[in-house]
Amino acid sequence: MSFVVNGMQHDATPQPGQCLRTFLRELGWFGVKKGCDAGDCGACTVHLDGKPVHSCLVPAFRAEGLEVTTIEGLGVDGLHPMQQAFLDAQGFQCGFCTAGMVMTAACLDQAQRQDLPAALKGNLCRCTGYRAIADAIAGHKHADGAGSSGGRNVPAPAGPAVVSGKARYTMDVAPDGPLQGLLHMKILRSPHASARIVAIDASAALALPGVIAVLTHEDAPQKHFSTARHEHVTDDVDDTLVLDPIIRFAGQRVAAIVAVSEAVAEAARDLVEVSYELLPAVFDPEEAMRPGAPVIHDKPVSSRIANASRNIVAELHGETGDVEAGFAEADLVHEATYQSQRVQHAHLETHGAIGWLGGDGRLHVRTSSQTPFLTRDALCTLFNMPKDKVRVFSERVGGGFGGKQEMITEDIVALAVLTTGRPVKLEFTRSEQFSASTSRHPMRVTVKLGVRRDGTLTALSMRMVSNTGAYGNHGPGVLFHAAGEAIALYRCANKKVDGYAVYTNTLPSGAFRGYGLSQTIFAVESAMDEAAHKLGIDPFAFRRLNVVRAEDPIVAADHVAHDLSFGSYGLDQCLDLVERDLNGAPKPKLSGDWLTGRGMAVAMIATIPPRGHRAESRIRLTTEGTYELAVGTAEFGNGTTTVHAQIAATMLGATPAQIRIRQSDTDHIAHDTGAYGSTGTVVAGAATGRAAEALAEAICTFAAAHSGVDRATCRLVDGDVMAGERRISLVELAEAAMAKGVALSGIGHSDGSSRSIAFNVQGFEVAVHRRQGEIRILRSIHAADAGFVINPMQCRGQVEGGVAQALGAALYEQMLIDAEGKVANPTFRGYHIPSFADTPVTTVHFAATSDSIGPLGAKSMSESPYNPVAAALANAICAATGVRLRETPFTADRLYRLVLDEDGRNALRRSEARDAVEPPFQAQEHAVAVPGE
């Protein structure tokens, strides 16, 4: 058969059931992405005879005789105007959805451009919150290419490659060179939530032509580890095997089939016969903690599991002051339980890795990871290999949100490579992403507040029960983090926290944007709002009375972190900015069917995770007079690469365009903990700043010697060196240095200690339909204290994306676990993430602060905008309707009954509804002498 793609003829014949997406990729058109492979996300959009289609749904044979255009062929002479528009507005973050977004936008007629919510409903973006995409289509220009440095809207270095489909993500490599003879892996997963594998018969599978290996627990190392990646491996429990004969959740690996194609691997997978002995399962964390519950991990103390016999992976008990005394002196005691559900990261690039043995005799792993260095270290430990024999790298990563602070593909790929000696690829399907990767920790949080009638907090206690699922990856870390800033935010002499991270037979929870704080902040900020309303105090005023101030110690329930301090303090500004904007506008005028209200919530976050987060940056002057900067940070839409360039450029008196960055490759530098915990700017960026500073010093010192002038007269100016009165080009200087055998380079390190505090305040104005329960967000206002904002355009994007992602969790998203413990909705059709139509424009304000700790005065701002959103929305809904929602997500089909009930319009329905009004986790309120009651 003959196909014309981007004007080029290909003679090739697809498989009968092959879709156009994979066929185009086989032909080398890697701009065609896989987000869902099911027609829901639009990342694979191409044009067929000029019409946009989702190529994952098009039978490949049907493209014969039609003109196929992919992102690579969209521009006739250079970039298509829509590609240029996305570049000008920087309408992307990770960029994985961008090719499909551009291919769709390029086809819209003027009527469709007037109605982007409908026109773009077939294109999902998880990073941006869509505002930047709307701006691109509307022709706004935000990128400021001329700017030199910190504080400017410098565009992402990868922008031109992203909009033209040339940026290479994990799977965008052809099977040649070292990947010649690439094998494909499919994983047989358990249908049972709790079982013991009695026997695996792979003979029929192995007999299938093209099957190379079937790996089972008998082939895997017998070493326990954690899929979670942390600087200190002892932060997590050792409870996981690459392949385990004990099954602890439906979806767990049973066997890995390695074959010459995905099709053969899939067919062989269905031929593997497994006999299971079914074991009792437990799905609820409270039940799992009860005596007599099935023990999920029968493991020794050396595993670091806190209490294996009670399924408690970690627990936490802390008290400062005397909470009982504090509650005794309160005029109002409010106590209620708040529940946060299980949600998926839904980064558009699924997990995947490609491994091979290089000609250098080393194991190479190309992967979609936030932590290539820590994954390298884990592989070395697992397979007993020295660090110099393993290379792990990420080229460009299609979104992370914490989901890729985990080793869930690299270990099995490495095992297959080491077993077969051949290159092996594993790419998760979207369904595997939902049912067999990780999620946010579902959490039940009971908050008890004691307040005096003047609004002073007298006591604050919190009990957390976190469902860590079948494995303990990130269970302890999330629990401890969740217990921190949510209550350290408030100055209160008496605080107490009890927390449990509990095993259940459900898929493992893991790192997720906010790392526990989104769940506890939902609880605490909802409770604060409830208390404020009972006391008749304005929520902003109530916060001002009680929030921690710049001169206060930072105290959670039990300890003071000695390396944590206010390098800057902008919460007061954030409160003022949101209050002024939210309450400054007149009340909206809507028909009588709509109830309106306003709500707010506060979030605080330490700019760096505790106990060490390390980075190294290396920079050198090249003989072309440019700088080559090597950093560990992976780029997955965080924008950190741009910030590295800006920091280095600032230190070197250069422009970001002069800085070429090589990143996220264990061959480039010695160590980098990774891009998690919002550290890309504040840790790795600090290392880059130091490296660039060292290089500037080396250049000036050499220039002084080279010109025979005093060092003090030398400085870097506009890409040249001034040595006294003489202007020397960097090319000349670099050549001179080379001639003398002097390396002009710098190395910088950062250990992540000395941490500052960032703040976020979110406000919403909402309307709720009084009979139908529909929630409409009328206004979304966010203020962020990010210190000095190095790149306002990008930082705004991080806030907008965080708010949008959090709105998904607050309004729509919920991973449903069925009676057998399986994920019941493992597709985007069943798991709705916000589309363009669902995402309001968020007004973003920045506090004017500059941090004494972070690089160039900056603070982190990537996870934290997520954290106050659910509570602010619940508080606004309550202000509108009087209905207090204590369980996310807030959906019309639950809310309508409660609103109707409050409204008293339908007596019949009200009596029916009474049972449903009560939240499932009994809320208790003890009102004692409340003013006005």
Partner 1 sequence: MDLNTINAIARPRSRGELADFGRGDAWLAGGTWLFSEPQPHLTRLIDLSQAGWAPLLVSEAGLSIAATCTVATLDALKAPADWIAAPLIGLCCRSFLASFKIWNMATVGGNLCMALPAGPMISLCAALDGVCTIWMPEGGERRVPVADFVEGPLQPALRPGEVLRSIALPREALSRRFAFRRASLSQLGRSGVLLIGTLPATGDFVLTVTASTRRPVQLAFADMPGPNELAARLAEAIPDALYYDDVHGRPDWRRHMTFEFAEEIRRELAEPRR
Buried b (16+ CB within 10 A) or exposed e, 27-47: bebbbbbbbbbbbbbbbbbbb
Strand, coil or helix: 763: strand
Q: Where in 122-161 is the site for partner 1 (CB under 8 A)?
A: 122-123
Which member of 565, 622, 745, 891 binds partner 1 (CB under 8 A)? 891
812: three-class secondary structure by DSSP = coil
Q: C-alpha angle with apex 615: 614 to 620, nearest 5 degrees? A: 160
Closer CB to partner 1, 436 or 651, in the complex: 436
Does position 118 interact with partner 1 (CB under 8 A)? The reply is yes
15 lines the binding site for partner 1 (CB under 8 A): yes
Question: Is residue 251 close enough to count as binding partner 1 by CB under 8 A?
Answer: no
Per-residue x/- marks for partner 1, 428-467, CB under 8 A? -x--------------------------------------
Backbone angles phi, psi at 680, to 5 degrees: -55, -40
Torsion angle, CA of 737/738/741/743, rounded to 10 degrees?
70
Q: Does 590 contact partner 1 by CB under 8 A?
A: no
Interface stretch with partner 1, choices 119-127, 393-401, 435-443, 797-805 (CB under 8 A)? 119-127
Shortest CB 916 distance to partner 1, Å: 8
Give 22 or 83: the residue with its C-beta nearer to partner 1: 22
CB 594 within 8 A of CB 770: yes
Instruction: Using the rule CB under 8 A, give the single segment among 115-123, 299-307, 343-351, 842-850 that binds partner 1.
Output: 115-123
Report which of 455, 460, 527, 505 is spatially closest to residue 487, judged by C-alpha positions.
Answer: 460
String marking each residue 848-887 x if it binds partner 1 according to CB under 8 A:
----------------------------------------
CB of 342 or CB of 481, closer to partner 1: 342
Any contact of residue 576 with partner 1 (CB under 8 A)?
Answer: no
Residue 746: left if φ>0, alpha if ψ -120 to 50, beta else—which one?
beta
| Degrees to nearest 5, angle at CA 388 with 384 and 393 | 100
267 binds partner 1 (CB under 8 A): yes
Judged by CB, which is closer to partner 1: 62, or 549?
62
Question: Which residue, chain included where needed, has tokens 């603070």?
Answer: 859
If binding is defined by CB under 8 A, does position 909 make contact with partner 1? yes
Q: Is 240 in the site for partner 1 (CB under 8 A)?
A: no
Nearest to 813 by CA among 344, 171, 121: 344
Q: Are 64 and 1 in contact (CB under 8 A)?
A: yes
Question: By rule CB under 8 A, what string of x and - marks binding of each residue 394-433 to partner 1?
Answer: -----------------------------------x----
791, 643 contact by CB (below 8 A) = yes
CB-based burial label for 904 (10 Å; 0-12, 13-18, 19+) = exposed
Q: Per-residue string for binding with partner 1, 500-529, x by CB under 8 A?
A: ------------------------------
> Is residue 361 close enough to count as binding partner 1 by CB under 8 A?
no
Which residue, among 859, 415, 930, has the nearest Cα to 679 in the 3D structure?
Answer: 859
Q: Is 53 in the site for partner 1 (CB under 8 A)?
A: yes
Using CB atoms within 10 Å of the CB of residue 207, give its burial: 0 to 12 exposed, 13 to 18 middle, 19+ buried.
exposed
DSSP 42-71: -TTEEEETTEEEETTTSBGGGGTTSEEE-G
Q: Tokens representing 886?
A: 């204590």
CA distance 534 to 878: 12
Please say which residue, 417 or 777, places its beta carbon nearer to partner 1.
777
Residue 807: phi and psi, rounded to 5, are: -65, -35
Q: In what order do the strands lie in the sheet with 594-606?
A: 594-606, 757-769, 775-785, 842-846
Residue of the chain from 184, 297, 496, 897 that contacts partner 1 (CB under 8 A): 897
At 175, list the tokens.
């099977």
- Spatial separation of the C-alpha atoms in residues 731 and 742, rounded to whole Å: 14
Cα 861 to Cα 571, 582, 679: the distances in Å are 14, 22, 9
Choosing from 9, 11, 17, 586, the residue that interacts with partner 1 (CB under 8 A) is: 17
What is the smallest separation between the CB atom of 211 and partner 1, expressed in angstroms?
A: 14
Residue 180 found at the interface with partner 1 (CB under 8 A): no
Question: Does residue 666 bind partner 1 (CB under 8 A)?
Answer: no
| Interface pick for partner 1 out of 262, 572, 732, 903 (rule CB under 8 A) | 262
Check if the beta carbon of residue 102 is closer than 8 Å to that of residue 69: no
**Among residues 27, 56, 281, 806, the one that binds partner 1 under rule CB under 8 A:** 56
Integer Cα distance of 89 and 82 in angstroms: 11
Counting contacts by CB under 8 A, is residue 842 touching partner 1?
Answer: no
* Between 8 and 118, CB nearer to partner 1: 118
- Residue 99 or 557: the one with the smaller Cβ distance to partner 1 is 99
Q: Where are the beta strands (DSSP E) in 290-383?
A: 312-320, 332-340, 352-357, 363-367
Provide the terminal-to-terminal Cα distance of the chain, rounded to the nearest Å.
Answer: 81
Number of CB atoms found within 10 A of residue 395's CB? 18
- Closest CB to partner 1 among 361 and 592? 592
Q: Give the shortest CB-113-to-partner 1 separation in angstroms.
A: 13
91 is a site residue for partner 1 (CB under 8 A) = no
Minimum Å distance from CB 175 to partner 1? 16
Integer-rounded Cα radius of gyration of the chain: 28
- Least gap, CB of 781 to partner 1 (angstroms): 20
Helix (H, G, I), strand (E, B) or coil at 551: coil
* Nearer CB in complex with partner 1: 16/359: 16
Tokens of 54: 């989702």
Output 40 or 616, the one with its CB closest to partner 1.
Answer: 40
Q: Interface with partner 1 includes 924 (CB under 8 A)?
A: no
CA distance 295 to 851: 48
Smaller CB separation from partner 1, 13 or 234: 13
**Is residue 175 a contact point for partner 1 (CB under 8 A)?**
no
| 35 binds partner 1, rule: CB under 8 A | no
597 binds partner 1 (CB under 8 A): no
39 counts as binding partner 1 under rule CB under 8 A: yes
Q: Specify the DSSP element, H or E, that contains 285.
A: helix 285-289
**For residues 436 and 161, is the Cβ–Cβ distance under 8 A?**
no
Among 3, 5, 6, 22, indicate the residue that binds partner 1 (CB under 8 A): 22
Question: Residue 361, exposed/middle/buried by CB under 10 A (0-12, 13-18, 19+)?
Answer: exposed
Total chain residues near partner 1 (CB under 8 A): 64
Q: Which of residues 810-829 bind partner 1 (CB under 8 A)?
A: 811-812, 814, 816, 824-825, 827, 829
188 is a contact residue toward partner 1 (CB under 8 A)? no
Q: CB of 23: closest distance to partner 1 in angstroms? A: 9
**Which span sits near partner 1 by CB under 8 A: 56-64, 135-143, 206-214, 758-766?**
56-64
Q: Does residue 54 belong to the site contacting partner 1 (CB under 8 A)?
A: yes
Which of positions 762-791 make contact with partner 1 (CB under 8 A)?
771-774
If one asks whether residue 58 binds partner 1 (CB under 8 A), the answer comes out as: yes
- Phi then psi for residue 420, to 5 deg, are -95, -20
- Closest distance of CB 775 from partner 1, Å: 10
* Cβ neighbours of 644 (radius 10 Å): 33
Q: Which of 28, 59, 181, 300 binds partner 1 (CB under 8 A)?
A: 59
Neighbouring CB atoms inside 10 A of 553's CB total 11
Binding site for partner 1 (CB under 8 A): 15-19, 22, 37-40, 42, 45, 48, 51-54, 56-59, 61-62, 104, 112, 117-123, 262-263, 266-267, 270, 429, 771-774, 811-812, 814, 816, 824-825, 827, 829-832, 834-835, 837-838, 891-894, 896-897, 909
